[in-house]
Structure 1
Amino acid sequence: MALSILTQGYTAAVGIIFMPLYLHLLGSEAFGLIGLFLMAQAWIQIVDMGFTQVISRDIARMRAGGLLETEAMERLRSLEWLFATLTVLTLALVLSTQHLIATHWIHAQEIDIATITSSLTLIAVAVVFRWFAGLYRGVLIGLEKQNRVNMLLVVFATLRFVGVFVVLIIVDPTPIVFFVYQAVVSSIELLVNRYVVVRQLPNHASLRFRMEAIKSMLPTVMSMSFLNIVWIASTQLDKLFLSGVLNLTNYGYFTLGATAASGILMLVIPFNQVVQPRLSFLVARNNEKELEELYRLASQFAVIGFVSIGVGLAFFAEPVLRIWTGSPEMAGIIAPILFWYSLRNSIIGVMLAPFMLQFARGSLRLHVLINAVLLIFLVPALFFAAQWQGGIGTGKVLFVASLFSLLLWSPVVHRFFMPRLKWRWLFGDTLPVSAIIAAIVWLAASNQPSFHQPILVLAWAVVAILASMFIGVLTGSHTRQFLFQQMRRLK
């Protein structure tokens, strides 16, 4: 598990670190195309519809004897044909609409239409091939070959983010070179992942596509697909609307701000991997006392981690961006975007605990319901906010929506899944600690010394965040008790 956490952290961090370098090499307008590339990688997951998770589960069932080998292989082979068909259809759709997108949706001032259309084609190739490779990654996870999955993720993340930087320096810093390289790496990733899977499984090349095999997976896929669509839409609609409103230069700046804010969510995967299995275990054992204790402890640690970093990034946005980008002017433009998206992502992190509680109980109906309802309001709100204030406007809308979920929806979740905490979780475990942390960081940001070096401002910010974390641990009743228990054990 530790290796998986480190792998996820590396793949996320290396992408964030290299973003400003791409901007300096390619220019702000070309970097806007990279923003479109990142958005496309998220939207393509809708095409997956949850089949990757289902085949991963089926391969695991096959290993455990719960599914016949021939049936599992038929499902995998049928999915390979389905994914290949969807790949061709997606590429055909992009090829038939690329000129329309380049001339009527994307707003470029310096990059010519031919470069944009070629970039869109290469983006489509890179995105669909990487998505296709995810099918085989899911199979490897089902086979419990996590070490190989981690190795492949690290290798291709390094090639994708570090390798392209070297190629841009050596060959030519143009968007075409960038996207050709990404398409080639995605193609290699697809071939390598398939090769590794084929070596682990019985030969299934002679099997044909069977609609019955696809239909057998549909009941599970449909429920997962809806949740997937709602989640992707609620997290990517802002980027979609802004891509049609902002010029490429400003869209590139927005991408940089949103990417910096996404660093907060790097904590999600390790937090989930540590806490979720234990919550599920306690639910299965019907141990409500320990379940509540662990849940409240995990909730306060989530507040301490996500709120301190999120509020810290928000209040120290400009000095952080100045060091990250190396440009005071750029930092001033992006800082308001980072402010709102950081606050929004910190709330998403806090709301991870109620989601894990619902998942452990085996029911995500309320989670799907609130996200679907929010989406109905988010679509027009984000559309008009994008027109009105660009990335700052969409950040404000998403922050308000997240705040609504925290203040008004979390009591509903606890009423159904842990009634004793209906209001206690919010007003006893979460908000007081959040307020203390936010106040400490705000005071530090408001009273920082007049440092002439940005690195000293960053050091001040880090100290403020760490101090807020420590005081947050002491403020939270469950984290304080946990800390004292650990100290007694050391004596």
Structure 2
Amino acid sequence: MKNSNIVKLISNYGSRLWSLVSVFIFVPFYIKILGVENYAVIGFYTLILGIISFADSGMSSAVIKEFSQNNSPSYKYSVFRGIENLYLKVCLLIIAVLVLGSGFIAGKWLNSNTIDVKSLAYYISLIGIGATLQLLSSLYYGALFGLGEQVKSNFYQIIWNIFRAGIVIPVLIFYKPELEVYFIWQIICNLVYLVILRLESMSILKKMDSSLERAFKKIPDTILSYIGGMVFISVISAVNIQADKIITSSIFPLKTFGYYNLASLISQIPVILGTPLVMFAFPLFSKFASDQKNVNLTFDKIAYLLSIVIFPVSFVIMFFPEEILKLWNGKNIEPQMFEPLGHVTRLLITGSVFLALQLPLFYILLSKGKTKYTIYQGVVQIIVGIPLLYICAKYYGLEAVPFPWILINFGSFLFLLFIVFKSFIEIKYSYYLKRMIFIPGFISLLITFLFYELHQVLHVNIIIYLAGIGGLSLLINILADNIFAKRLYSSFKHLYNFPK
């Protein structure tokens, strides 16, 4: 039972849900203790982490992919050590670039009314060190994942997140409420987390074969080719996903960027909730790469679970953005900002739905080593999306920034859908669109609309409405799917009985 599919899936969600909940719990404290502008610098940490994620270049996914297949312990160890050495060199280079370039970033990129350029440069140097350590830990997290230790890796991630995001609050309150303390704490937590994950990964590998030290060889050419393809994907993906934040942080004052970051955090919920599902499925896609029947079955289950999870949540945010902002951070947001932030949140969440729907399609291609399609997609996104983002931000203000986000993610979803269904999945378009999009989307939209209308008449705590919408949508979606598939009304085991 320890490593069963359902336990792994639950642990994936436990880790991601805690990360999500921790954001809603701790961000208001950061703003209250440090102020909106200082919080924007913390948001810049997330931006830097997103930008430098290109350095991963598929290395952690390569480890998951190779570890998930039936390779010998010596081969796995050789791959692990070779990629680790390459990753370390790349991370040291990133730290050097960020530290040496901190003055330029502080002076030419960010616009602060209260923090001097010298202090900003110092914070960016600390951000560079902390974010790079966090990035490197993804390699060891991926190693545990690929070795089947998803429960253990998720447990460590939850503990790390508690210390990194939660314990820092009393440190700021009782020691010193300054950004320097916050970022140094991040560095310490990230370093300890990284060391623990590496020790665990090495321990498991050596238990498989005690003579592994003699197995260390160079990285196989096939993996280097895979990583090479992923370099382009990672660079393009980092630019596309972070483009709105890059532009808003450079055009608008830090305070405005801080507010935009709040809307952006809420809009990431569909992707955050969808990621545990596809990360659970990725090793299965890799394992069954030559078994089309099991690939189809895994995709069918993951795509459906993704839909019934993200549609209810996304429609809730679309209908109740201002209420959610007030519930979450009401005391820290200026009253005149709720309406524009609600508008921005509503649009951003629309784009994020299409991004979340891409996840199973992307990981199908990744499991088969087909990176060229994602490269094509990303190049077009940059050529079209970046200029549009700049024009919208520069000439039409903050509320126009999300429109290019919707456009590029909708277009990317259609493109990946066409490629995957044409060559890599034996499932009919009509079946996918009906079961994964139209039915769960319509049910979730209808229930959310009814609750929204009820909210206009009966003003009770918004949490009750949110819980009611989520629970009822999930229940009716599963019931409707059972009716259409002619299963028992109460059937649910089909949702998680993945092939082994």
Q: Tell me the TM-score normalised to structure 2 length.
A: 0.82
Cα pair distance change 1:320/1:87, threshold 3 Å: same
- Residue 109 of structure 1: how far off its partner (Å): 0.4
1:107 lines up with 2:107 in the alignment: no
Q: State how far apart, in whole Å, the 1-side matches of 2:71 and 2:395 are.
A: 57
Q: CA deviation at 1:110?
A: 1.0
1:50–1:225: 8 Å Cα contact kept in structure 2? yes
Q: What is the one-letter code of the residue matched to 2:41?
A: L
Letter matched to residue 194 of structure 1: R
Q: Give 2:237's aligned residue.
A: 231
Q: Distance in 1 between matches of 2:224 and 2:476?
A: 49
TM, length-normalised to structure 1? 0.83
Structure 1 residue aligned with 2:497:
none
List per-residue Cα deviations over 1:187-245 (Å, max 9, x = no partner): 222333334445455699999x98x5486741121123233333222211111121111
Shift in Å, 1:176: 1.4
The range that moved more, 191-200 or 260-269, is: 191-200
User: Aligned partners of 1:440 and 1:107: how far apart in 2?
Assistant: 43
Q: Which residue of 2 aligns with 1:334?
A: 341
SS at match of 1:188: helix
- The verdict on how the C-alpha distance between 1:352 and 1:392 changes in structure 2, with shifts beyond 3 A counting, is same
The answer to whether the aligner puts 1:9 opposite 2:17 as a matched pair is yes
354 and 60 in structure 1: CA distance in 2 versus 1, 3 angstrom threshold: closer
Aligned to 1:346: 353
3-state SS, counterpart of residue 44 of structure 1: helix
Letter in 2 for 1:378: G
Amino acid in structure 1 at the alignment position of 2:403: K
The residue aligned with 1:457 is: 462
1:36 is matched with which residue?
44
Distance across 2 between alignment mates of 1:18 and 1:272: 27
2:393 paired with 1:386: yes
Distance 1:173 1:251 in 2: 21
- Aligned pair in 2 of structure 1 residues 449, 43: CA closer, same or farther (>3 Å)? same
Range with bigger deviation, 442-451 or 127-136 = 442-451
1:51 and 2:51 are equivalent in the alignment: no
**Residue number in structure 1 paired with 2:277:** 271
**Distance in structure 1 (CA, Å) of the matches to 2:291 and 2:95:** 49
- Is contact 2:45–2:127 with CA below 8 Å preserved after alignment? yes
| 1:218 correspondence with 2:224 | yes
Q: Percent identity?
A: 19
1:89 to 88, 93, 97: 93
| 2:326 aligned with 1:322 | yes
Q: Match of 1:309?
A: 313
Aligned Cα RMSD in Å?
Answer: 3.7
Distance 2:202 2:264 in 1: 38
Is the contact between residue 275 and residue 359 of structure 2 (CA under 8 Å) also seen in structure 1?
A: no
Change (3 A) 1:66 1:13: same
- 1:313 and 1:320 in contact (8 A); partners too: yes
Distance 1:305 1:487 in 2: 18
Alignment match, 1:24: 32
Among residues 484, 487, 491, which one is paired with 2:490 in the alignment? Answer: 487
Unmatched segments (≥5 aa) in structure 1: none
Task: Give, in whole Å, the separation in 2 of the partners of 1:488 and 1:194.
Answer: 41
Aligned length: 479
CA change 1:66–1:81 in 2 (3 A) is closer
* Alignment partners' CA distance in 2, 1:153 and 1:430: 32
Between the aligned partners of 1:78 and 1:279, the Cα distance in structure 2 is 24
Counterpart for residue 170 of structure 1: 174
- Aligned-residue offset at 1:299: 4.3
What residue is the counterpart of 2:379 in the other structure?
Answer: 372
Post-superposition CA distance 1:424-458 (Å, at most 9, x none): 64367623542453344245435533566xx6234
Q: Separation in 2 of the partners of 1:149 and 1:466?
A: 29
Structure 1 range deviating more: 141-150 or 319-328: 141-150
Contact 1:310 1:346 in 2 (8 A): yes
Shift, 1:416, TM fit: 4.0
Q: How does 1:187-198 map to 2 (within 5 A)?
A: 187-198=191-202
Q: Note if contact 2:52-2:238 (Cα within 8 Å) is conserved in structure 1.
A: no
- Matched residues in 2 for 1:489 and 1:237: separation? 40
Give the superposition deviation at 1:34. 0.8
Distance 1:94 1:283 in 2: 39
Deviation at 1:313, TM superposition (A): 0.4
Change (3 A) 1:479 1:364: farther
Aligned partner of 1:240 in structure 2 is: 246
Residue 179 of structure 1 and its aligned partner are, at CA, apart by 0.9
Change (3 A) 1:173 1:425: same
Tell me how far apart the structure 2 counterparts of residues 407 and 443 of structure 1 sit (CA, whole Å).
Answer: 30
**For 1:448, what is the secondary structure of its paired residue?**
helix
> How has the CA–CA distance of structure 1 residues 348 and 77 changed in structure 2, closer, same or farther, with 3 Å as cutoff?
closer
What's the secondary structure of 1:338's corresponding residue? helix
C-alpha contact (below 8 Å) 1:78/1:213 kept by paired residues = yes
Distance 2:375 2:153 in 1: 30
- Aligned 8 A contact 1:51 1:221 in 2: yes
CA contact (8 A) 2:68 2:283 kept: no
Contact 1:261 1:345 in 2 (8 A): yes
Match of 1:259 in 2: 265
Structure 1 residue 126 displacement after superposition: 0.5
1:279-318 equivalences in 2 (<5 Å): 284-287=290-293, 291=296, 299-318=303-322
Match of 2:438? 431
Secondary structure of the structure 1 residue equivalent to 2:490: helix
**Which whole-Å deviations, capped at 9, do the CAs of 1:386-411 have from their partners, x for residues lacking one?**
32345432312111223334567635
Structure 2 unaligned regions, length at least 5: 1-7, 494-500
> Would the alpha carbon gap of residues 238 and 214 (structure 1) be closer, same or farther in structure 2, given more than 3 Å must change?
farther
Q: Structure 2 vs 1, CA of residues 101 and 411 (structure 1 numbering), >3 Å: closer, same or farther?
A: closer
Mapped contact 2:16–2:273 kept (Cα < 8 A): no
C-alpha separation in 2, matches of 1:434 and 1:427: 10
User: Could you tell which deviates more after superposition, 396-405 or 35-44?
Assistant: 396-405
Structure 1 residues 418-427 or 103-112, which shifts more? Answer: 418-427
Distance in 2 between the 1:488 and 1:205 partners? Answer: 46
Amino acid at match of 1:131: L
- Farther off after superposition, 196-205 or 103-112: 196-205
Greater mean alpha carbon deviation, residues 270-279 or residues 227-236? 270-279
Separation of aligned partners in 2, 1:306 and 1:326: 25
| 1:160, distance to aligned residue in structure 2 (A) | 0.5
